Amino acid sequence: MSKPSRHSYVRTHPSEKKHADKTVKAGKPQPASGKRQRQTQGSKSSGKYLAQHQIIAAYQTGLHPRNIHRQDYDFNALIKAYAPLSAYVRPNPYGKLSIDFADADAVKHLNAALLKHHYQIDAWDIPAGFLCPPIPGRVDYLHYLADLLSAQPLDGQNVPTIPKRLYGNKIKALDIGTGANGIYPLLGISQYGWQFVASDIDPQSVSNVQQIAAANTKVSQSLEVRLQQQSSKMFTGIIGADERFDITLCNPPFHASLAEASQGSQRKLANLAANRAAKGHQASKATSKLNFGGQKAELWCDGGEQRFLLDMIAESKAFATQCLWFTSLVSKKENLTACYKALDKVAAISVKTINMTQGSKLTRVLAWTFLDAKQQALWAKYR
């Protein structure tokens, strides 16, 4: 496998270039003196602990090369696997089968069909008003985490080969804020066979994920769902004193208030309507409810995404030797600078920002560890 290029750039269609993040020079290996330097565009050393930092370009293919959703949905196969979807499938103006993505019920049934057909998950459902996640984007995150755990060079060009040791229940993952959909443990167990602990502060969400797990033998054997009783904590009260996790993952609340979340929902509804009109679709009847829903804990928190991430970074220090890699999605690029400063403050050893492209949307995974290269190798050896 070739070495990572010294300079990598996110490659996008010309119409998407305004959304692209420019990646920068990868961090050099840690000097023997023990000093750590992070190399990012325009940053300067400002403290004793500066993490080795690498920013990784998104794959040119868009979705991760291992993502099975890189082609159009096969609605005939999906209906065969999950018959209730048929009530929502219609030919679009181009003669291809599709659904109305502004219809919450249609999207929920599409998810159930995708989970049944591709991931062998039965009886998936969510209560009314809860977040209905897009499956292709969610499983993408997991594929990038598998790349990270492979300990192979990441450059956005060469796809790491995932060794057999990273498949199966020896890998233990922690999903912070799993929601009522439990999507990350369901996909991670199906795709990689990992063991999962999933936490949430909402009892209804915990109960719903437990019901889904109970209907799927493989999931029930590999998933433990825990209620977080301290709303201001993420790892405390969830990670036991003797527990170890190879990876943590999280999709933080995006907005800082209910009003902000409502405005975002209305913008997305308007965008969906405009997209339908541009493609010659009739106006959707599902104008009063958003296709992905969402409760307070799923969509917003005081201080929004940045405050959530800074709190997570600060708390992670107390569990530095119990987790190999901490990770989170970061939707807003402008939140990264504050996160990098926070990671310096807690003395993270290595930081990686992994860009992901999903259609015209660019998001990223922020990953950090408090273990040096030797400690990471020992972790892998004695896992």
CB atoms within 10 A of CB 318: 12
The answer to whether the Cα torsion of 61, 67, 68, 69 is positive or negative is: negative
Of 362, 360, 358, the residue nearest 135 (C-alpha): 358
Of 302, 295, 294, 299, the residue nearest 256 (C-alpha): 302
pLDDT of residue 104: 92
The answer to whether the Cα torsion of 290, 293, 294, 299 is positive or negative is: negative
Residue 4 has pLDDT above 70, yes or no: no
The DSSP annotation for 285-331 comes to: S--SS-TT---HHHHB-TTHHHHHHHHHHHHHGGGTTTEEEEEEEE-
Of 55, 95, 152, the residue nearest 364 (C-alpha): 55
Q: For tokens 């990270």, what's the residue?
A: 148
Q: For tokens 């057999």, what's the residue?
A: 164
Q: Is 289 exposed, middle or buried (0-12, 13-18, 19+ CB in 10 A)?
A: middle
Report pLDDT digits (tens) over 38-94.
Answer: 444 334 444 444 678 999 999 988 999 999 999 999 999 999 999 999 999 999 998
pLDDT over 70 percentage in the chain: 74
Contact status, residue 81 vs residue 113, Cβ threshold 8 Å = yes
The DSSP annotation for 109-153 comes to: HHHHHHHHHHH---S----TTS----HHHHHHHHHHHHHHHTTS-
Measured CA to CA, the distance from residue 320 to residue 338 in angstroms comes to 20
- Is the whole-model pTM more than 0.85? no
Report pLDDT digits (tens) over 288-327.
Answer: 344 445 444 555 457 789 999 999 999 999 999 999 999 9
Contact status, residue 350 vs residue 368, Cβ threshold 8 Å = yes
Measured CA to CA, the distance from residue 234 to residue 239 in angstroms comes to 9
